[in-house]
Chain A
Amino acid sequence: MRTHRSLRRSAAALLGAALLSAAAAPAWAQTPEKELGSARGFASGELVVTFHSDPATCASTGACGLDGTMRWSMDGATRLGVTESGGKTRFALGGVGRDDGGVVVRRRTASGAVRVCTDTAPPFQGTLITGAGGVTAGAPATVRLIGENAVGVASLCPGPLLEDLAAYTPAATVDFAALRRGNVRLDLRGERSFVAHGLAIALRSTVVVDVGRVNAARATDSGRPSTDRTLASVYTVERVDGDVRFASSGPADPAACVLVDACGARATTVLAPRATSGTVRLVASASTKVSRRALLVALGLAEGKDDERVELGLLGSFDGGVASTEVVREDAQGVCRDTRPLKTGSVIGVGDSDGLAVSYLPFPEPRSRCGTPLVPFDLFSPGTVANVLSRADARRDRIVLRFDRASQLELSGFPTAVTPDLTVTLRRKSRRAVTYP
């Protein structure tokens, strides 16, 4: 159990870091981020977003009749992380907007009646503040309240997504030298109004973040030689076919459905990931007491008997694809339809004695502007879209990951049928093993 737990922990660390810093391209699988430093901070203020249907554009997306408010309190201690990847410096502010926010959306039906949807505002996840620029070269960078890859927002209620708000959130200019000196105030206050996805949106921020001195990252090498040896074999993502369907219906209990405006509602989300590029690593790890050859055998790079002391893992991602959602409310002014690009799809496999339990994880998570239950693509409860790859199949030069196990879930009280029909085909790039990470 311990081994499994520690494997899950290391997988979590790898994937967690990847998702938190996820860029549009699956850079994390190829270019690791370098931590430049971090600083303690304290944030205060609120982000309030109000919106209503834009009469001129709402019909095309089925967003007519809406009037809503979203609110996040940002008060609390924060940590500003500064990392560098591919020549870009990135600021990530963690720990704000975690546990205090609400969403209320009123919807006017076709007959003029009013329905109300309520939910807590989902906490921000991922990169809240990002900035790209030549920070290390001394040029200032722009930091924004909501970063380009922030995820969150939209839950059970219809309304804008965080990504719709990002470009309109207030920004501050900062340079790394000033952060090094410390006591920097990021003034992220401001107001903006705009129209997006059939909604007229007004955004007001009173958020300021006081950041202490950035301390340079310390080397984490303990100096002790590792007792594990890890090798990897690199695969390219040859193709991704099929889709994953989620079909939800509102809670049957009137008491449960009425305050989320889901009585009689039906929602269908289809994830159709496609790949133009992608890399996946099959990783073999064992104590240094186990021979290097045993690792190569487990990776399919040498002939011999499979040694079960070698732990296998699979980790990688690919780009492209689209997620589309349709929500039908019988009394609505129209069917709500929403489409979003899928920035990345990840596959992660955790080894056990039967083989590799492989899961597919989309990024961003399938949320929609129509209001749908959040599908829990959670690293710690994989299985929403998952299958087992045998150790024998993992040794092949061409690996076919097939996801076709249907399941029934209850998401926030919404009965949901998950029907995957997804195939990810990997082709080994080279028969030479590489060290990992």
Chain B
Amino acid sequence: MNLRRPLSALLGAGVLLLPATAHAQRVPLEQIVSATGTVTVTWHGDPARGCAAAGVCDVSGVATLPADQSGLSFGGTVGAKPAEVSVELEQGTTRVVRGPLTDPLGVCVDRADADVTLAPRRGAGGSVTFVQRGVFAARVKGRCAGPLAADLKDVLPSATISAEAARRDHQQLRLRGTRPFVSGPYTGTVVTHLDADVDYGPADEEQFDPDGPPPTAGPVTTAPTMVMATFTFALQTPGGTLTRTFGGADGCATLDACGMAGTDTLTVPAAASTQLRLSTTISRSRLRGRGVSAVRDAILRRGVQFDGAGPADLAGGRWNRTVAFGGATTACGETAEPGPLSLESRRSGQVLRLALGTDRDTTTSAFLRCPGPGAALASDFVGIDPPPAVGDVPLATLLRGQKVTTTLRSPAAPRSADRGFRVQATGGIDVTLELTDTKVEAF
């Protein structure tokens, strides 16, 4: 069930793209989407797009993405109909072949899940056309060679319903069509055969609160009972390189990793004036004394967690992957600029752990088109996929204003995305932190 999408996202285009009309309702509605059918994405290395240079001319693949087979998707609570429709493509399969289809040199199989969003646009006479919004939101590890989800833009056909149908509580969207796409060295097509039944019904009033809670009656507390502390650190790095070499491990036959030899190199540029911010809210009753030192003592002594963090962005990183197969004359090579790398932080006891990576959900930067360990830059920070590089700094030293240096290295724990591969990481990136500002506000 699609509970991942925030309410604001559901409301967003539905409200913005469709200006209020006489028919528009501003009452909470529950949207339920029941979808059937399949989106099929096929691709192959294309000489006209430089597949020879990328080493993928013998690569072809297909991703079969069926609509969520449970049949129902709770779209959420929306303010008007027709609203955006999100279709979950679940339990899909990516199959990528290297060499001839009937007796391939290697086969890679991976799970492929994605969400696609259809945004309504009002047309002539009040008809409504649903069009693909954004790119495919992939939830994959991306270990097989193929296009990036971020390249799958404007590949779904549109579906139009009449003005009368748009006013109904039950709307049927039929999406049929074939559209081409290109992605790096690949050329492909997307074949869509999707039916979505969208039902609107009255929603639970308590769950719909677009403007926030109503003002409360009764006395208003004026005396500040809480303090919010924000620590700002200057972050410097001379830059550095993280290298991961990889090859096939147990089960490599399912990921076409047997005989594979590859290298990922992440180069982080020098940064002189990046900031990292941490904030926390503490009850005044937990403070012994006043001012910054009292707050700092409470954090260290009582284990107060940071509830807000401003990650430090490191622009200009480069990611290079080369992959070769034993006996093959060509190798897959790719260089990507993964966008801003972020240095996130999380407290663990008396240590602040810095983690380098990108958001797993990003569709733009966390994956490569060459095969290999998946989502090498993605990090969910909860243990399934540890961050690509981490470093610890003592919290007490840091909060007392002393300059602290640590080296970000690949963690020892295996990453889920590395399964099927044997990975060895080397290198490190030095990072220096120094407290530059502390702000304490009472409220």
Chain A residues within CB distance 8 Å of chain B: 1, 42, 44, 46, 48, 50, 69-71, 73, 75-77, 99-104, 113-116, 118-121, 204, 206, 255-256, 258-259, 376, 378, 380-381, 413
Contacts and interface: CB of A to CB of B under 8 A. Distances in A.
Contact of A378 (B70, B199, B251, B384): B70
Contacts of A101: 111, 254
B62 interface: yes
A50 B254 CA distance: 11
B107 A116 contact: yes
B109 A102 contact: yes
A99 B111 contact: yes
Contacts of A77: 382-384
B141 interface: yes
Interface stretch (B48-56, B328-336, B414-422): B414-422
A393 B303 CA distance: 66
Interface of B: 42, 62, 64, 69-72, 91, 93, 95, 97, 101-104, 107-111, 113, 141, 199, 201, 250-251, 253-255, 382-384, 414, 416, 419-420
B52 to A, nearest CB: 24
B102 A114 contact: yes
A99 B141 CA distance: 10
Given A70-B254, A376-B69, A380-B72, A116 B109 contact: no
A44 B107 CA distance: 25
Contacts of A206: 250
Contacts of A118: 93, 95, 107, 109
A113 B108 CA distance: 20
Contact of A255 (B62, B102, B109, B111): B62
A297 B263 CA distance: 74
Contacts of A381: 69, 71
A258 B62 CA distance: 11
Contacts of A119: 93, 109
A102 B103 contact: no
B102 A73 contact: no
Contacts of A99: 111, 113
Contacts of A50: 253
B36 to A, nearest CB: 9
A113 B101 contact: no
A188 B202 CA distance: 49
A120 B109 contact: yes
A71 B416 contact: no
B70 A102 contact: no
A120 B93 contact: yes
A51 to B, nearest CB: 11
Contact of B42 (A71, A255, A378): A255
Nearest to B382: A77
12 contacts: A75-B384, A76-B384, A77-B382, A77-B383, A102-B108, A102-B420, A116-B97, A118-B109, A255-B62, A258-B101, A259-B95, A378-B69
Contacts of A114: 102-103
Nearest to A156: B93
A103 B62 contact: no
Nearest to A47: B251
Contact of A259 (B62, B383, B416, B420): B62
Closest 6 CB pairs of A and B: A102-B254, A71-B251, A102-B109, A75-B416, A69-B253, A48-B251
B107 A104 contact: yes
B250 A204 contact: yes
Which one of A42, A46, A118 has the highest number of Cβ atoms from chain B below 10 Å of its Cβ? A118
Contacts of A1: 199, 201
B253 to A, nearest CB: 4
Given A1-B201, A75-B419, A259-B95, A113 B103 contact: yes
Contacts of B419: 46, 71, 73, 75, 100
Contacts of A44: 414
A259 B97 contact: yes
A118 B102 CA distance: 12
A113 B110 contact: no
Given A44-B414, A70-B254, A75-B384, A103 B109 contact: yes
A317 to B, nearest CB: 23
Contacts of B414: 44, 75
A100 B108 CA distance: 13
B104 A103 contact: no
A121 to B, nearest CB: 8
A256 to B, nearest CB: 8
A104 B255 CA distance: 9
Contacts of B104: 116
Contacts of A113: 102-103
A71 B254 contact: yes
Nearest to A413: B64
A413 B382 CA distance: 37
A226 to B, nearest CB: 22
A142 B397 CA distance: 48
Contacts of B111: 99-101, 120
B286 to A, nearest CB: 28
Contact of B110 (A48, A102, A413): A102
A160 B27 CA distance: 54
A42 B383 contact: yes
A381 B414 CA distance: 39
Nearest to B256: A104
A104 B103 contact: no
B251 A69 contact: yes
Given A71-B419, A115-B103, A259-B62, 19 more contacts: A1-B199, A46-B420, A69-B253, A73-B416, A73-B419, A100-B111, A101-B111, A101-B254, A104-B109, A114-B102, A115-B102, A116-B97, A116-B102, A116-B107, A120-B111, A121-B254, A258-B101, A259-B95, A259-B97
A104 B62 contact: no
A120 B251 contact: no
A99 B417 CA distance: 12
Nearest to B103: A114
A259 to B, nearest CB: 5
Contacts of A256: 62
Contacts of B110: 102, 120
Contacts of B384: 75-77
Nearest to B36: A381
Nearest to B66: A412
Contacts of A259: 62, 95, 97, 101, 107
Contacts of B107: 104, 116, 118, 259
A46 B110 CA distance: 15
A46 B95 contact: no
A206 B422 CA distance: 14
A71 B420 contact: yes
Contact of B250 (A48, A120, A378, A380): A48
A24 B72 CA distance: 31
B103 A116 contact: yes
A298 B383 CA distance: 54
A101 B107 CA distance: 14
B110 to A, nearest CB: 7
Contacts of B91: 120
A14 to B, nearest CB: 17
Contacts of B383: 42, 77
A121 B109 CA distance: 9
A436 to B, nearest CB: 27
